[in-house]
C-alpha cells in the first residue's frame, strides 16, 4: 500500500466544515509570512482571522510559552489555585481598560466568552430578553449561534435559545425595543462578518443610554475588533462609551487559544453565589495561553502598534483602485473589497493565494474580500500587498473578459 499523503489524511480524518477548504500545508510561520511544504512564501493578509495582530511566532511569545510550559501547564480547574500567568495577564488587561472593567473571566475561546457573558447578563438582571443584530457573529455554540441574525446558518440547529430579538445594525428601531424586560444588548463594536461595518457613534451612544435607563447590560464583542485592529487598543474608545461586559478572544492569546469576558467585580461576583460555580471551565485561562497572551499584549503596547494603523489604512485606500472593485469599507487595518459576485470574489481570492497572499471572504458577504494583515506590517509590506492584490485583480479581470467576451 502506498504512503497516504497528508492532504488525503486531512480529507479523510480531520472533520471538514467546508466543501472547499483552502487545503494548503504550511510548515513555518514568522512575522507576516507563512511557508508551505514547497517552501513557497505567502503574506498572511488576514492574520489567521485576526489572531496574529503582532505577527506569527513572535520570539517573546515563543519564549513565554516555552518558559510557562516548563514551569507548569494544567494544574486544576479554573478559579481554584492562584496561577500567576492568569493574575498577571488579568492585571495587565484591566490596567488598560476603564475602571469598571476590572474583573476578567478567562475562557478557552470567543464563543465561550459569549456564552459566559449571556449567562452573566441573565443572572445579574434576572431577565431573559436579549437584543442582537443581523449579520452578527458571536461564535458557533448554541447560545452564541442563537444570537446570529442569519437564518441560513441557524435553521438546521433549532430549537435555539428563546427570547432573542434581532435588529439591523445601525438601525435606531432597536432603541424602542430596549425596555425593563431586556437583560442585555449584545453587539460587535465594529461588525466583522458583514464586511467590516462601523457603528454610527450617536446610535451606539443612544444604545448605551437606553441600557442605562432600563438597567440592561451592554455587551460589546471585540473578539475581532480588539487589540489595536481599528487604530485604538479597544474599538469602543472611539465612541465615547464603555460596555458593562467586554468580550475578547482571537488576538487575546497571542496565537494560543484564549477568550475572556470582562466586567466589574461586583457583576462578576454574581457567578459565585446562588448557584455557586455559576460558570465552570476546566481549561479556561490555561497558564500557557495566558503567558502567551500577556507577552503578545506587551509587544503590542511597547511598539504602540495601533498608532500607525490609520496611516496604513489610508495607504490601502490610496493604492487599491482597480475598476473591478465595487465598493470598499474599512475600520483601521481591517478592510473589505466588494466585487460583482461571490464567484468573482472567489476567483480573486484564489488568484491572490496563487500569487502568495492569503486572504478569504466574509461569512455573510461572500462577495467581499478580507484584508486584516498583522499590525506589524510596514509601509513597504502594505505596498507589496497592494501590488499583489492589484495584479491578482487584473489577472482575474482578464480571465473573466476572455470567458465572457
In whole angstroms, the minimum distance from the beta carbon of 235 to ligand PLP comes to: 11
Shortest Cβ contact with ligand PLP: which residue? 110
Interface segment toward ligand PLP; rule CB under 6 A; list 86-94, 108-116, 283-291, 323-331: 108-116
- Residue with smaller CB distance to ligand PLP, 145 or 174: 145
CA dist., res. 345 & res. 290, Å (int): 37
CA dist., res. 124 & res. 218, Å (int): 12
Q: Which of 203, 195, 194 shows the shortest CA–CA distance to 135?
A: 194
Q: Could you tell me the strand order of the sheet in which 33-36 lies?
A: 26-30, 33-36, 41-44, 357-358
Residue 235 found at the interface with ligand PLP (CB under 6 A): no
Of 64, 198, 223, 348, which lies in the binding site for ligand PLP, with binding defined by CB under 6 A?
Answer: 223
DSSP state of 25: -
In whole angstroms, the minimum distance from the beta carbon of 17 to ligand PLP comes to: 12
In whole angstroms, the minimum distance from the beta carbon of 205 to ligand PLP comes to: 21
Residue 377 found at the interface with ligand PLP (CB under 6 A): no
Residue 110 found at the interface with ligand PLP (CB under 6 A): yes
Q: Which three cell numbers stand for residue 52?
A: 496574529
CA dist., res. 123 & res. 267, Å (int): 9
Residue 137 found at the interface with ligand PLP (CB under 6 A): yes
Residue 138 found at the interface with ligand PLP (CB under 6 A): yes
- Residue with smaller CB distance to ligand PLP, 185 or 393: 185
Residue 174 has, within 13 A of its CA and on its CB side, a CA count of 28
Of 104, 147, 186, 192, which lies in the binding site for ligand PLP, with binding defined by CB under 6 A?
Answer: 192
Site for ligand PLP in 88-107 (CB under 6 A): none
**Torsion on CA atoms 173, 175, 179, 183, rounded to nearest 10:** 100
CA dist., res. 26 & res. 10, Å (int): 13
**Other CB atoms within 10 Å distance of the CB of residue 75:** 10
The residue count for binding ligand PLP (CB under 6 A) is: 14
Residue 367 found at the interface with ligand PLP (CB under 6 A): no
Residue 139 found at the interface with ligand PLP (CB under 6 A): yes
In whole angstroms, the minimum distance from the beta carbon of 50 to ligand PLP comes to: 7
In whole angstroms, the minimum distance from the beta carbon of 316 to ligand PLP comes to: 21
Residue 243 found at the interface with ligand PLP (CB under 6 A): no
Q: What is the DSSP string of 318-338?
A: HH---TT--EEEESSS-EEEE
Q: Assign 310 to helix, strand or coil.
A: helix
* Residue 107 near residue 284, CB atoms below 8 Å: yes
Q: Exposed, middle or buried: residue 349 (CB in 10 Å: 0-12, 13-18, 19+)?
A: buried
Q: Which three cell numbers stand for residue 187?
A: 453587539
Site for ligand PLP in 269-308 (CB under 6 A): none
Interface segment toward ligand PLP; rule CB under 6 A; list 70-78, 132-140, 302-310, 327-335: 132-140
Q: Which of 67, 62, 2, 56 shows the shortest CA–CA distance to 29?
A: 56
Residue 167 found at the interface with ligand PLP (CB under 6 A): no
Of 182, 194, 224, 330, which lies in the binding site for ligand PLP, with binding defined by CB under 6 A?
Answer: 224
In whole angstroms, the minimum distance from the beta carbon of 192 to ligand PLP comes to: 5
Residue 315 has, within 13 A of its CA and on its CB side, a CA count of 18
Residue 216 found at the interface with ligand PLP (CB under 6 A): no
Residue 188 found at the interface with ligand PLP (CB under 6 A): yes
Residue 236 found at the interface with ligand PLP (CB under 6 A): no
Q: Assign 371 to helix, strand or coil.
A: strand
- Residue with smaller CB distance to ligand PLP, 68 or 109: 109
Q: Is the peptide bond before 159 cis (omega within 30 degrees of 0)?
A: yes
Note the residues at the interface with ligand PLP (CB under 6 A).
109-111, 114, 137-139, 188, 192, 221, 223-224, 249, 259
Amino acid at each position: 500500500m502506498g504512503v497516504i499523503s497528508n492532504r488525503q489524511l486531512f480529507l479523510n480524518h480531520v472533520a471538514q466544515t467546508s466543501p472547499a477548504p483552502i487545503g494548503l500545508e504550511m510548515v513555518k510561520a514568522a512575522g507576516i509570512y507563512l511557508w508551505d511544504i514547497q517552501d513557497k512564501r505567502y503574506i498572511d493578509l488576514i492574520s489567521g482571522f485576526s489572531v496574529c495582530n503582532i505577527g506569527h511566532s513572535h520570539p517573546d511569545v515563543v519564549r513565554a510559552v516555552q518558559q510557562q510550559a516548563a514551569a507548569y501547564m494544567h494544574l486544576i480547574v479554573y478559579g481554584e489555585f492562584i496561577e500567576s500567568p492568569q493574575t498577571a495577564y488579568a492585571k495587565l488587561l484591566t490596567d488598560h481598560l476603564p475602571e469598571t472593567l476590572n474583573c476578567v473571566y478567562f475562557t478557552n475561546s470567543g464563543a465561550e466568552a459569549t456564552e459566559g457573558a449571556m449567562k452573566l447578563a441573565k443572572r445579574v438582571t434576572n431577565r431573559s430578553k436579549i437584543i442582537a443584530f443581523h449579520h452578527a457573529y458571536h461564535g458557533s455554540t448554541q447560545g452564541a449561534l442563537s444570537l446570529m441574525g442569519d437564518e441560513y446558518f441557524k435553521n438546521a440547529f433549532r430549537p435555539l435559545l428563546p427570547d432573542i430579538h434581532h435588529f439591523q445594525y445601525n438601525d435606531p428601531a432597536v432603541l424602542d425595543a430596549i425596555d425593563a424586560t431586556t437583560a442585555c444588548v449584545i453587539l460587535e463594536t465594529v461588525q466583522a462578518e458583514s464586511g467590516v461595518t462601523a457603528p454610527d457613534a450617536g446610535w451606539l451612544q443612544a444604545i448605551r443610554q437606553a441600557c442605562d435607563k432600563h438597567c440592561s447590560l451592554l455587551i460589546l464583542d471585540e473578539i475581532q475588533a480588539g487589540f489595536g485592529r481599528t487604530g485604538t487598543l479597544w474599538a469602543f474608545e472611539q465612541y465615547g462609551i464603555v460596555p458593562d461586559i467586554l468580550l475578547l478572544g482571537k488576538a487575546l492569546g497571542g496565537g494560543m487559544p484564549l477568550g475572556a469576558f470582562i466586567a466589574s467585580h461586583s457583576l462578576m461576583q454574581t457567578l459565585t453565589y446562588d448557584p455557586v460555580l455559576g460558570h465552570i471551565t476546566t481549561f479556561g485561562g490555561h497558564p500557557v495561553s495566558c503567558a502567551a497572551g500577556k507577552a503578545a499584549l506587551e509587544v503590542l503596547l511597547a511598539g504602540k502598534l495601533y498608532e500607525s494603523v490609520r496611516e496604513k489604512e489610508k495607504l490601502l485606500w490610496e493604492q487599491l483602485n482597480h475598476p473591478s472593485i465595487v465598493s470598499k469599507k474599512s475600520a483601521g487595518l481591517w478592510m473589505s473589497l466588494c466585487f460583482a459576485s461571490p464567484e468573482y470574489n472567489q476567483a480573486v481570492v484564489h488568484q491572490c493565494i496563487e500569487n502568495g497572499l492569503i486572504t478569504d471572504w466574509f461569512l455573510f458577504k461572500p462577495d467581499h474580500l478580507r484584508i486584516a494583515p498583522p499590525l506589524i506590517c510596514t509601509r513597504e509590506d502594505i505596498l507589496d500587498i497592494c501590488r499583489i492584490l492589484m495584479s491578482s485583480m487584473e489577472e482575474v479581470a482578464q480571465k473573466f473578459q476572455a470567458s465572457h467576451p
